[in-house]
Structure 1
Amino acid sequence: MLPITNYRDREGRLLSQGAAFGIASKGRVLPESDDGIRSPFQKDRDRIIHASAFRRLQYKTQVFMAPKGDEIRTRLTHTLEVAQLSRSVSDALGLNEDLVEAIALGHDLGHAPFGHTGEAVLDVKLKEIDPSLGFEHARQSLRVVDSLERRERGHGEVLFGLNLTYETRNGIASHSKGLEEMSKLEDMLSPQTLEGQIVRLCDRVAYVNHDLDDAIHAGIIDTTDVPAMTVEALGSFYSQRLDTMVLDIIRSSSAAGEIVMSQPIQEAMDNLMLFLKDRVYVHSEPKREEGKARDLLSRIFDFCMQDVRRMEPYLREHPMTCESDDPAPMLRGNLQSTARIVTDYVASMTDRMALKVATDLVMPHIYV
């Protein structure tokens, strides 16, 4: 026979004092029983992996829209790389790997199609309707796990939202951080656990490295274009840069008691981000396609605002957004509510779903 281990015993043996312990979790909005075998954070991770929003990440742009090669990263592969880096750091520091994995796997569930271009379009559209509104993928990711994700429970029972623990939700909501603070979430402004801090930093480590790697493989830049100071500090090839950054986070965080990088490595990473912004994110050839993506998503949004029946399949699957069988009259009377639902609908799309919806909306249907 093989013994069944209790997660409390496992955490007690393996985790350091600063870790987030499952038994000490602040819990879920809807309390659930504890079976003692799987920790609350393991359950969070499993629910995210089985979510339809997680599967859709496979067909959402990371940086390069409609890449010709199969090796260019998507939003899903980015998510998996963040999870792997976060687990490596967490394991070395004696922190909770289950929690960092749950946060990392859920951190981008709310991303719109076509990467940050889609995020910017939805933000503008909402602000045009009401300046107090806006779209941020971290906020939307929290909305997905709290309210939008469907869970079929059999016998016709459907639940909305994954009912995740506070610690996972906090890490998802507060993960967004660029060269300057990006998150404007009122109730979850910063990570409340060391595990959340790990994902926040490893998200940056992952995307600066794989975006550079993808740009080199796509022929947008050459390895010789990378600034010499960055190469000297971080390394000259992909795995070397990752190794340098991960080991630096582990050593610096161990000494500081919080999740940090040393100043030289932090500055080198920031300089690499600035280089990518200039050569890849803004001025590269593939980025010229973003104008088409902006126009496409804007037209979908406007069409759906004009007639919510265009979202009929989505509304059927999300009846909690409406209080009647016929949502159109109610939604027409509340512009902000309509905009929120249209935003949920558009943000849920993959790139190819957005292309199909745009075609269906614009192209005439031939019935002969």
Structure 2
Amino acid sequence: MTVSERTQWIEEQTLSPYAALSKNTLGRDVPEQECDLRTPYQRDRDKILHCKSFRRLKHKTQVFLSPEGDHYRTRLTHTLEVSQIARTIARALQLNEDLTEAISLGHDLGHTPFGHAGERALDELCPGGFRHYEQSVRIVEKLEKNGTGLNLTKEVRDGILCHTKGTEAMTLEGRLVRLADRIAYINHDMDDAERAGVLLESDIPADIKSVLGGRRTERIDTLVHSVVENSQDGQIKMDPKVQEAFDRLHSFMFESVYLNPYAKAEEKKVPNLIGTLYSYYLKRPEHFPQDMCLIVEQDGIERAACDYIAGMTDHFAIQLFQDIYVPKSWNI
């Protein structure tokens, strides 16, 4: 028995009947020789962890555009927090941690520079629109590894695609990641808003704090415990009272932070920057990097421009804009 076979045997003996067993995976589009150390879901986790798109998340906005300070969340730290919360719940519910982790690490690979402001800008520009969760799947299926993709299992790709609103994932692990994503971003965005002076802890309505707790760690602990204690019969859910308070906290964050004119003041510059870069590459396809030339040939110049800009970090997009359009001093 190999190490991976032993792991799959342990899964079969210990996991919930509702868990996705790695031995039952629907597989990959392109068959690969199995690893004798890692299960298919463990391999998917490692493929994502080592890909270029994952590394770029460290310089992509979560909520505050290019904030001054070392302690604000980025898209990478958000991803890691989602993974930690999702794995904690998965372990408690005896679900497949490896599948949960792989989906968590890959769920935001397709996010644009400048957070949701960049996503909205590309959505208006790109034929057919732009949605980051679809782009995340496009990255792992095609854009990574010079056009060959990561060749992930169907369960991981499905969990990535369905991590936000709309159709639920086919696995309980995928549905769990959707909830963990929401638990993570609401609480850490609140923490960042307090650090930025946009929000005070005392601003949080008392009736919400009485249910969830006043501090970030208390709220996350309450939410995670509620999921673990109330999920059953293949359903991921919270206590109704906790769920209602959590929904009200989400609405409070939209009113106080996500739509706050002070916190979002710089976002009004994003559509012009994104739109200018998009138009530039439509007119000058010869300026695409080499790895985008194949996309131009296969999917057209508009799709290539969308893919290239979506993959940029905040700093790279700003620097590229400056290099193209801002005059430089001439030195003798």
Task: Identify the TM-score tier after normalising by the shorter chain.
Answer: over 0.9
Matched, 1:309 2:247: no
Distance 2:243 2:148 in 1: 40
In structure 1, what is the Cα distance between the partners aligned to 2:327 and 2:310?
25
Separation (CA, whole Å) in 2 of partners of 1:190 and 1:224? 36
Q: What is the aligned partner in structure 2 of residue 283 from structure 1?
A: 260
**Deviation sequence 1:241-283 (CA, Å, 0-9, x none):** 00000010111113x4311122211211111111111111112
After TM superposition, list the pairs within 5 Å mapping 1:136-175 onto structure 2. 136-150=131-145, 160-175=148-163
CA distance in 1, matches of 2:184, 2:323: 36
Is contact 2:296–2:303 with CA below 8 Å preserved after alignment? no
1:196 alignment partner in structure 2? 174
1:215 and 2:210 aligned: no
* Structure 2 counterpart SS, 1:68: coil
CA distance in 1, matches of 2:213, 2:20: 33
CA distance in 2, matches of 1:107, 1:228: 33
Match of 1:350 in 2: 313
Of 44-53 and 272-281, deviating more is 272-281
Q: Could you say which residue in structure 2 is the equivalent of 1:184?
A: none
Residues of 2 paired with 1:164 and 1:319: CA distance? 24
Identify the residue that residue 339 of structure 1 maps to in structure 2. 302
Aligned to 1:29: 29
Aligned residue identity for 2:137: L
- Deviation, structure 1 residue 15: 1.2
**What aligned pairs does 1:209-288 form with structure 2 within 5 A after superposition?**
209-254=187-232, 256-288=233-265
> What percent identity do the matched residue pairs reach?
43
- Per the alignment, do residues 159 and 342 of structure 1 end up closer, same or farther by CA in structure 2, a change over 3 Å counting? closer
| TM-score after normalising by structure 1 | 0.86
- TM-score, normalised to structure 2, is 0.95
83 and 163 in structure 1: CA distance in 2 versus 1, 3 angstrom threshold: same
Please give the residue correspondences for 1:22-101 in structure 2 after superposition, counting only pairs within 5 Å. 22-101=22-101
Alpha-carbon contact 1:113-1:351 (below 8 Å) kept? yes
1:37, distance to aligned residue in structure 2 (A): 2.6
Report the counterpart of residue 300 of structure 1 in structure 2. 277
Task: Answer yes or no: is the 8 Å Cα contact 1:220–1:284 preserved in 2.
Answer: no
Equivalent residues of 1:20, 1:96 under 8 A apart: yes
Render the CA deviation track for 1:158-200: whole Å, top value 9, x for unaligned. Answer: 66200000000000000013xxx4xxxxxxx320000001001
Post-superposition offset of 1:12: 2.1
Task: Please say if residues 7 and 36 of structure 1, whose CA atoms lie closer than 8 Å, have aligned partners that are also in contact.
Answer: no
Structure 1 residue runs of 4 or more that deviate by more than 3 Å after TM superposition = 364-368
Residues 34 and 173 (structure 1 numbering): CA distance in 2 closer, same or farther, change over 3 Å? Answer: same
Displacement of 1:319 after TM fit? 4.3
Note closer, same or farther for the CA distance 1:358–1:159 as it changes in structure 2 (3 Å cut). Answer: closer
Gaps of 5+ in 1: 151-157, 182-188, 324-330
Per-residue CA deviation, residues 179-226 of structure 1 (Å, 9 max, x unaligned), is xx4xxxxxxx32000000100110000001001111111111111100
Q: CA-to-partner distance for each residue in 1:73-126, whole Å, 9 max, x for gaps?
A: 000000000000000000001100000000000000000000000000000012
Question: 1: distance between equivalents of 2:24 and 2:37?
Answer: 15
Distance 2:58 2:180 in 1: 20
Deviation at 1:361, TM superposition (A): 1.6
RMSD after superposition: 1.7
CA distance in 2, matches of 1:226, 1:39: 44
For residues 309 and 259 of structure 1, the distance between their equivalents in structure 2, rounded to whole angstroms, comes to 49
Q: Distance in 1 between matches of 2:309 and 2:293?
A: 17
2: CA distance between counterparts of 1:280 and 1:15? 40
- Corresponding residue SS for 1:149: helix
